[in-house]
Amino acid sequence: MDIRERINIRRLSPDTQSRIFPILGAAIVFVLCFIVLFAGEDVGLSDNGDFRRVLLVNNLEYRNDTNAAYLFKEDYRMKTDGDTFSEKLASLWDTSNEKEIYSSPQFLLIKISKTLNYISNIIAGRSENAYSIVWLALLYIIMLSVAAWGIFTFFADSGIKTRVAVFVIFVFMFCDAGYILYFNSFYGEPLQYTSLMLLIASGLLIYRRPSIPKVICFFIALYFFAGSKLANIPYSVMVCVLSLTLLVLRRDKLFKIGVIAAFLVAIFSIIQLYSSVPDWMQRDTTYQSVFYGIVKESGRVEKDLKFLGVDEKYAPLANTTAYMDEGEYPIDITTEQFEKDFYDKVSKTDLVIFYVFHPVRLFKNLSTAISNSAYIRPPNSGNSMTVPMEMTNRWSMWSRLRASVKFPFAPIIVYIGFILITAYTVIIDIFYYKRFKSEPKRNIYMMGSFNVLVLGLWINLVIPIIGNGQADIAKHMFLFTTCIDILIAVCILTIINMKIRNLILSLTAVVIMTFCCNYAAPKPKTVFGTYEGEPIVWEVYESLNDGTEILVTKKPIADMPFDASDNSWTESDLRIWLNTEFLKDFTEDERARLMKTTNAAILPQERKSVAVAGDHVHYWNFTRENADDLEKTAYHYYVEDYVYIPTLDMLENMSGHKPYWVLCPYGNNTTMERFVNNDGFVLHTSVSNAKGVRAVIRRTTAGGE
């Protein structure tokens, strides 16, 4: 037997390869997700206030009666009742009957995780009430791995180039920590994400070989998707209707009856989910859609309210949210009169009608939403058990890359892309409609699937704005972000299979878009002063009419904490250092040219009593373009400095690729401060963490350069 024969014996047959590829790929996905969450310090997402209602429904509570804001918490307590093992096990499936309860298939997974916790506690000899969120994360990992198996199975018969591309894309993009960190949390997003992947996998497997069991799996995944976030219900109904294209895949009556039966059950179940939405949730989202959406910085608040049928006397509520303290509202919103004047008059349909007649306002708000879709994970939730608001770099190449290149969430790029994709879809739909009888039915089904994706892009862009305004918009854009990533994945697969010339053209277009979205005209530079024996290079941020100019250091001059424990700018260690130690190497003439600058120092909620102006806590927006939203009406006082750090209104026109502190505290506590991240977005972290310091001064130009 020669060498070639031995190689042929050892070489796997195509059939064997097609079986091994999906199983091996799914196993790698499982292991990778496990490593992301549990290799080293366990990571997840902290509670931003949404955990409460989930814990309440499922009879869970924090182990130490505290949510430890901005820190990921792994351990909780669960309630068990009864005397015997079976009675206690059954009690884990009890649901609280509090008035705030709503229905969600997410609760099924939580109850399963409670059962797994209870059994493991008995085996390991731990307290029977101990609950570790690890078991819930494992359920999500299993679901994602099953979805990966289904997707890899669909491509198992493709060429080696396509199989490798699909595997790399899934592992690189969809196993990114930005997505996987959600698994260690009680948010609805992990179920939304995994059920969406299962929906895609089952849809592909149906195309490969249609059968009733696969159809049932498809509609079950759709039900879980719809119930994971109640804002998904409108989109889920449309997906349900479009899924009737399944009927064209087989001619036998039994299959068609199965599809129709599954469709009817799914529609009924999804409607039941919507009917379970509690009144408080509808009221809160409607309030925010109006007062922190439609009339937010509108400039014509009274006219907008009048269009909605709301009394103009409620105009002072503009720019407020539904979750402020009662004393912060200029008008009492808990009265029966407000109930009649607002909640009884305004519905989600009224909001849709408003935006139909005010398209400019709609696109302005949508642009804000698009800009806030940069981060996969919510930028206001910590993921560490020990360090508040510090992001993990564990397997997060994709989430960092997409935030750095910027064009996937540049509004103009998104609008142009969506319009072109929609036009293409309409043209192909018309083509297939005219050739319905002669066109292969599988093509019609796949085109229906592409319609689902295109509809998802538009609907999941619009619904967060209509459904909840701009409140917590970054987190509400999660599904839109996922749909964008799916579209990017489809485009990458298409590009990979292009001819060389088209491949080069496509990659060139991507490079050009990235350059255009990231390019900033260089600012004039000047050298002024000395620090640690080296001359300081400054950017001329602004030249003023009085002969002075605002300078900001081109790069951070040092990395240091803002303070040991407090975000008060007046008493901060950073302010003292900038106005003393930092200036000691300046010449006497250089110090004489420095002029004091008066800045409005924003105050956190706990210090509003010392404010000289403002009537609300500062609402954080993590994009530099919108970072100073409502800054002038937030609680603030005034302070004079020779040297300070960048203010919010400076950020839009600042360059830089290293993190640096910003003169703005986090509004909800006294221990966190804003900083600009290396990707250009405004985040917040503990004042004791070290970040870059970019000094800002105002100097006279007298004496020349």
Per-residue pLDDT reduced to its tens digit, 114-170? 999 999 999 998 989 999 999 999 999 999 999 999 999 999 888 888 899 999 999
In this structure, the answer to whether residues 611 and 555 fall within a common structural domain is yes
Segment 473-491 shows an average pLDDT of: 89
Residue 196: pLDDT band with limits 50, 70, 90: very high
In this structure, the answer to whether residues 87 and 125 fall within a common structural domain is yes
Segment 451-456 shows an average pLDDT of: 86
Domain that holds residue 406: 1-277+358-519
Give the tokens for residue 131. Answer: 């609950």
> Which is it for strands 696-700 and 690-693: parallel, antiparallel or unpaired?
unpaired
Give the tokens for residue 283. Answer: 């009221």
In this structure, the answer to whether residues 408 and 535 fall within a common structural domain is no
Q: Which residue, among 248, 242, 201, has the nearest Cα to 220 in the 3D structure?
A: 201
Burial 374-405 (b: 16+ CB within 10 A, else e): bbbbbbbbbbbbebbbebbebbbebbbebbeb
In this structure, the answer to whether residues 31 and 105 fall within a common structural domain is yes
The residue from 519, 552, 569 where one domain ends is: 519
User: Does residue 234 register a pLDDT over 80?
Assistant: yes
Residue 334 lies in a domain: no
**Quick check: helix, strand or coil at residue 431?**
helix
User: Does residue 87 register a pLDDT over 60?
Assistant: yes
Alpha carbon distance 133, 72 (integer Å): 11
Segment 368-394 shows an average pLDDT of: 84
Give the tokens for residue 344. Answer: 């009884």
Alpha carbon distance 399, 604 (integer Å): 30
Residue 401 lies in a domain: yes
Q: 128 and 122 in contact (C-beta within 8 Å)? A: yes
In this structure, the answer to whether residues 557 and 684 fall within a common structural domain is yes
Beta bridge partners of 132: 75
Q: For a pLDDT cut of 90, what percent of the chain falls above it?
A: 43
Q: 193 and 482 in contact (C-beta within 8 Å)? A: yes
In this structure, the answer to whether residues 634 and 570 fall within a common structural domain is yes
Residue 362: pLDDT band with limits 50, 70, 90: very high
Q: What is the DSSP letter of 12?
A: P
Q: What is the pLDDT of residues 251-287, one digit of tens each?
A: 889 999 999 999 999 999 998 888 877 777 888 889 9
DSSP letters for 171-186: IIIITSHHHHGGGSSS
User: Does residue 11 register a pLDDT over 60?
Assistant: no
Least confident interval from 73-77, 189-193, 231-235: 231-235
- Secondary-structure breakdown of the chain: helix, strand, coil percentages, each rounded to the nearest 5: 55, 10, 35
Segment 477-498 shows an average pLDDT of: 88
DSSP letters for 184-240: SSS-SHHHHHHHHHHHHHHHHHHHHS--HHHHHHHHHHHHHHHHHSGGGHHHHHHHH
Q: 44 and 33 in contact (C-beta within 8 Å)? A: no
Q: State residue 137's pLDDT score.
A: 96
Alpha carbon distance 287, 356 (integer Å): 19
Give the C-alpha distances (Å, rounded to integers) separating 349 from 236, 270, 282, 296, 467.
Answer: 18, 19, 12, 19, 10
**H or E stretch covering 601:** strand 597-602
In this structure, the answer to whether residues 451 and 600 fall within a common structural domain is no
Give the C-alpha distances (Å, rounded to integers) separating 68 from 51, 132, 374, 387, 608.
Answer: 12, 16, 26, 11, 23
Residue 351 lies in a domain: no
Q: What is the pLDDT of residues 544-582, one digit of tens each?
A: 888 899 999 999 999 999 999 999 999 999 999 999 999
Main-chain phi, psi angles of 264, to 5 degrees: -65, -40
Main-chain phi, psi angles of 289, to 5 degrees: -60, -30
Residue 333 lies in a domain: no
Beta bridge partners of 644: 696
Give the tokens for residue 114. Answer: 């409670």
Give the tokens for residue 533. Answer: 């024996």
Report the amino acid identity of residue 274.
Y
Burial 268-298 (b: 16+ CB within 10 A, else e): ebbeebeeeebeeeebbbbbbbbbbbbbbeb
Q: Which residue, among 654, 694, 663, 662, has the nearest Cα to 600 in the 3D structure?
A: 663
In this structure, the answer to whether residues 126 and 145 fall within a common structural domain is yes
User: Does residue 517 register a pLDDT over 80?
Assistant: no
Residue 282 lies in a domain: no
In this structure, the answer to whether residues 478 and 568 fall within a common structural domain is no
Q: Which stretch, 277-286, 421-430, 443-452, has highest mean pLDDT?
A: 421-430
Q: What's the total number of domains in the chain?
A: 2
User: Does residue 7 register a pLDDT over 60?
Assistant: no
Residue 601 lies in a domain: yes
Give the tokens for residue 194. Answer: 């995994």
Q: At what angle do helices 189-208 and 441-468 cross, to 10 degrees?
A: 170
The residue from 485, 501, 519 where one domain ends is: 519
Alpha carbon distance 248, 38 (integer Å): 45
Q: Which stretch, 413-417, 471-475, 554-558, has highest mean pLDDT?
A: 554-558
User: Does residue 67 register a pLDDT over 70?
Assistant: no
Degrees, nearest 5: CA angle 408-201-225: 75
Residue 313 lies in a domain: no
3-state SS track over 510-548: HHHHHHHHHCCCCCCEEEEEEECCEEEEEEEEEECCCCE
Residue 675 lies in a domain: yes
Q: Which residue, among 154, 166, 257, 235, has the nearest Cα to 198 in the 3D structure?
A: 154
User: Does residue 354 register a pLDDT over 80?
Assistant: yes
**Sign of the CA dihedral 645, 649, 651, 653?**
negative
Least confident interval from 227-231, 286-290, 519-523: 519-523
Residues sharing a CB contact under 8 Å with residue 11, sequence separation 6 or more, in sequence order: none
In this structure, the answer to whether residues 628 and 486 fall within a common structural domain is no
Q: 496 and 463 in contact (C-beta within 8 Å)? A: no
In this structure, the answer to whether residues 27 and 132 fall within a common structural domain is yes
Alpha carbon distance 384, 387 (integer Å): 6
Q: What is the mean pLDDT of the chain?
A: 87
Give the C-alpha distances (Å, rounded to integers) separating 285 from 309, 347, 348, 481, 629.
Answer: 18, 10, 9, 21, 20
The residue from 468, 497, 519 where one domain ends is: 519
In this structure, the answer to whether residues 451 and 551 fall within a common structural domain is no
Residue with tokens 């105009």: 315
Beta bridge partners of 676: 660, 682
